[in-house]
Structure 1
Amino acid sequence: MEQVAEAFLTGAGMLWKALWALIFGYAVSSAIQVLVTREQMAGLLGERGLRPAALAGFFGFISSSCSFAALATSRTVWVKGAHPANATAFLVSSTNLVIELGIVLWVLLGPGFMIANLLLGLLMMVYAYGLMALWLPGGLARTAREHAARQQEEEEGGHEEAGEKSWRRVFTMEGLHEIAMAFVMEWRMVWKEILFGFTVAGFISVFVPQAFWSWLFIGQSDDPAFLAVVQNAMVAPVVAFFTFIGSMGNVPLAAMLWSRDVSFGGVVAFLGADLVAATVVWVHAKYYGWRYTLYLSFLLYLAMVAAGVTVHYLYALSAMLPAERPALGEMVRFAFDYTFFLNLLFLGLAAFLVALHQSRAGARQEEAPEGGRA
């Protein structure tokens, strides 16, 4: 029982340290979502090329969200006319270049990992785009798009995204209500993933011995050989497949792997591996069918392995490889420090946005009977 309590305490401590960053990141992400519609994005991403690819990455960044929301948005962008390579670049960007992910990485592991994750996302986009340029069966992509269009039509029942998006709406009452609605929706989709991720990290840190990680990831040292870096980067996404966790839930697990002496390249590859988690693969199969899903998953796997190894050696050549490997127990600090006051501040912001959302939801329920009589 003592070990179970220690596991829960470790996970809760990591969550406490990252809580303000999570709220801040999702609040910013929600505000950004009032800027541009998915139809506007798709209209600019219809052709293959450097400019549309860069725009896809930018739109993915400003649409940053949890993995499952990113899957749905990527499907919509593709169905509405984006080239599949641009839709894939959008998907990678919207799951790896997310604002809240970078902030939490900074808080838990330091700025080096935040920058590494940024490089990982950019390189994954480049590698995935290049691989799709080399091999993208036209018939496979066409069938997958048709499958996605039918699936989306069944889910939405013809509902279209409404309302003109503009940065000015952020400063209006209507815009604040939209931000509050997006914020609540984001948390409804991601809170289980976040809790599960931090809890699993706590339990693994307590119950899984170092001998297992030494067996699974070869060459554990401060200066691993090239073969060890490649093997770590190849194995880490396989671990992510079986954890069933998305991008935000992967952060505490990445911290756990780093504390267990996995190479920097392996940990970085793991951060991008939410796109091959079992749950994500299943959702993709539902959207596109199994043939395209297997193609896309293998392509993304190659991209994240190559990107993880590349980032490792970019850091090694620049003498930037992190040296400290803090134990997860060091993150369990319930104290009256800056984290405590930041958490109070951002919990207040979260409460305000939830109250704003609830007031709008209540007003709509009151108006519904009158609309029905009209």
Structure 2
Amino acid sequence: MIRTVFGEVGHALLMAAGMVWQTGWSLVLGFAISALLQAILPEEQMRRALGKGGIKEIALATVAGAASSSCSYASAAIMRTLFKKGAALVVSLAFLFASTNLVLELGLILFMLLGWQFMAAEWVGGVVLVVIMSLLVKLTLPRRLVEDARRHKEADQGHQHMASVVAGATWRDRITNPEARIRVAQNFVMEWRMLWKDLAAGFLIGGFVAAFVPDGVWQTLFLGHASAGVRTIAGVLIGPVVAMLTFVCSIGNVPLAAVLWAGGASFGGVIAFLYADLIVLPLLDVYRRYFGWRMMAYMAAAFFVTMATAALIVDAGFQWLGWVPDRSVDIRQRMTEFSINYTFWLNLVAAALALYLFIQNRRHPMNHDHHHDQRSAGASAEP
């Protein structure tokens, strides 16, 4: 019995390691992009480009998000940077949705593990998500909530983003400034220090769920024996809830989505699960740190409605077209097989980049003394 339990724990850890392996390079890339944006984008320039929140700005942010190739944690960091720099919230959220649903590598992994139908559903649904979210936010978002969120001070003073933009008249001047690589390294390390615990928890939860939860549980949870209509509606509502409790990352949750599909979840339920990478519990806590409790609650509610509605639309369309695939995938075996392929080389490059940035930060640590002195002076002045 003990040997069996230890064997299952080992398998769960191996599954978690497989998920880390599949997503590691995209995490490094996403945090590096966020660090670069913080170092070279002045607030006034960001406000002019993305501050209006119109269709043009939303489309621009969607294209930029699709090109960013980021994990949801890293995308959240970039979104925070855009918003804090002056971009409209709806534009920042359009980037967030696009960067976790329209990226190339996510579609490729879906194609390899679940087939072209899921890849198409993810990309088509990514556009639907942005459209629904934009309409919902424009209709319901209180202006005061935006102002409070933009002024919100992140709770962890040691991880606040206090590095200023590097000097230079244009972004080309700033990016070629020798100081830029130091600022990028400092921002990169701050992002990792802030979120590594959330990431570790997410990967471990995903691995243990994949290893210990039998397929019959998913069939029961997603009402596998109910009528097609009931299963579809229940699936798009249950899928995001499952994602909130078991999520890893926008790419790392693909293996878990395959487990759900093989276990009997509806097509719409799996799609909703994939879309819901932005409302998992660790990421909701990140929103709380970035923007405060009230904005976090608003984002969670708006995202849930957006994801369930988009999944319902995509499910109906794919059912009508006859594009819903068969259930034939052994995801547990695939995730525990490691080979020298494109993921290996991408992770190798990402590891080298991360090591370089950590070394740069160690050589040039951010000086917090000035900020500490200011806080101490303020405290001593109080009666």
TM-score range (shorter-chain normalised) is 0.7 to 0.9
Q: 1:103 to 1:165 in 2, by over 3 A?
A: farther
Q: 2:271 maps to which residue? A: 268
Amino acid at match of 2:241: V
Residue 250 (structure 2) pairs with residue 250 (structure 1)? no
Displacement of 1:166 in angstroms is: 4.8
Residue 340 (structure 2) pairs with residue 340 (structure 1)? yes
TM-score normalised according to structure 1 size: 0.77
SS of the residue aligned with 2:305?
Answer: helix
Q: 1:341 to 1:138 in 2, by over 3 A?
A: closer
Residue 243 (structure 2) pairs with residue 240 (structure 1)? yes
Q: 1:305 maps to which residue? A: 308
CA distance, structure 2, for counterparts of residue 358 and residue 283 of structure 1: 22
Q: 2:23 maps to which residue? A: 22
Q: Which residue among 140, 143, 146 is the counterpart of 1:138?
A: 143
Q: 1:296 maps to which residue? A: 299
Amino acid at match of 1:261: G
RMSD of aligned alpha carbons: 3.9
State which drifts further: 299-308 or 113-122: 113-122
Q: 2:165 maps to which residue? A: 161
CA distance, structure 2, for counterparts of residue 262 and residue 158 of structure 1: 45
1:58-111 CA-to-partner distances (Å, cap 9, x unmatched) read: 233344433333333323322332222222222222333344433433343334
Amino acid at match of 1:161: V
SS of the residue aligned with 2:340?
Answer: helix
Q: 1:115 maps to which residue? A: 120
Residue 38 (structure 2) pairs with residue 37 (structure 1)? no
Displacement of 1:361 in angstroms is: 4.8
Q: 1:66 to 1:269 in 2, by over 3 A?
A: same
Displacement of 1:53 in angstroms is: 0.9
Residue 11 (structure 2) pairs with residue 9 (structure 1)? yes
Q: What residue ranges of structure 1 are gaps of 5+ in the alignment? A: 366-374
Q: Which residue among 122, 132, 145 is the counterpart of 1:127?
A: 132
CA distance, structure 2, for counterparts of residue 330 and residue 219 of structure 1: 24
State which drifts further: 67-76 or 226-235: 67-76
1:203-226 CA-to-partner distances (Å, cap 9, x unmatched) read: 3344323332222111358xx622
CA distance, structure 1, for counterparts of residue 156 and residue 218 of structure 2: 45
Q: 1:105 to 1:4 in 2, by over 3 A?
A: farther
Q: 2:224 maps to which residue? A: 219
Amino acid at match of 1:317: W
CA distance, structure 2, for counterparts of residue 143 and residue 360 of structure 1: 35
Q: 1:353 maps to which residue? A: 353
CA contact (8 A) 1:233 1:269 kept: yes
Q: 1:310 to 1:177 in 2, by over 3 A?
A: farther
Displacement of 1:318 in angstroms is: 2.5
Displacement of 1:344 in angstroms is: 4.8
Displacement of 1:296 in angstroms is: 2.0
CA contact (8 A) 2:75 2:100 kept: yes
CA distance, structure 1, for counterparts of residue 200 and residue 309 of structure 2: 30
CA distance, structure 2, for counterparts of residue 59 and residue 256 of structure 1: 31
Displacement of 1:185 in angstroms is: 7.7
Displacement of 1:123 in angstroms is: 1.3
Q: 2:317 maps to which residue? A: 314
Q: 1:60 maps to which residue? A: 65
Residue 84 (structure 2) pairs with residue 83 (structure 1)? no
Q: 2:378 maps to which residue? A: none
Residue 217 (structure 2) pairs with residue 209 (structure 1)? no
CA contact (8 A) 2:70 2:100 kept: yes
CA contact (8 A) 1:197 1:252 kept: no
Amino acid at match of 1:80: K
Q: 1:189 to 1:326 in 2, by over 3 A?
A: farther
Displacement of 1:55 in angstroms is: 1.3
CA contact (8 A) 1:120 1:304 kept: no
CA contact (8 A) 1:14 1:252 kept: no
Displacement of 1:51 in angstroms is: 0.6
TM-score normalised according to structure 2 size: 0.75
State which drifts further: 161-170 or 355-364: 161-170
Q: 1:295 to 1:332 in 2, by over 3 A?
A: closer
Q: 1:79 to 1:192 in 2, by over 3 A?
A: closer
Amino acid at match of 1:212: V
SS of the residue aligned with 2:50?
Answer: coil
CA distance, structure 1, for counterparts of residue 10 and residue 225 of structure 2: 27
CA distance, structure 2, for counterparts of residue 185 and residue 158 of structure 1: 10
State which drifts further: 80-89 or 326-335: 326-335
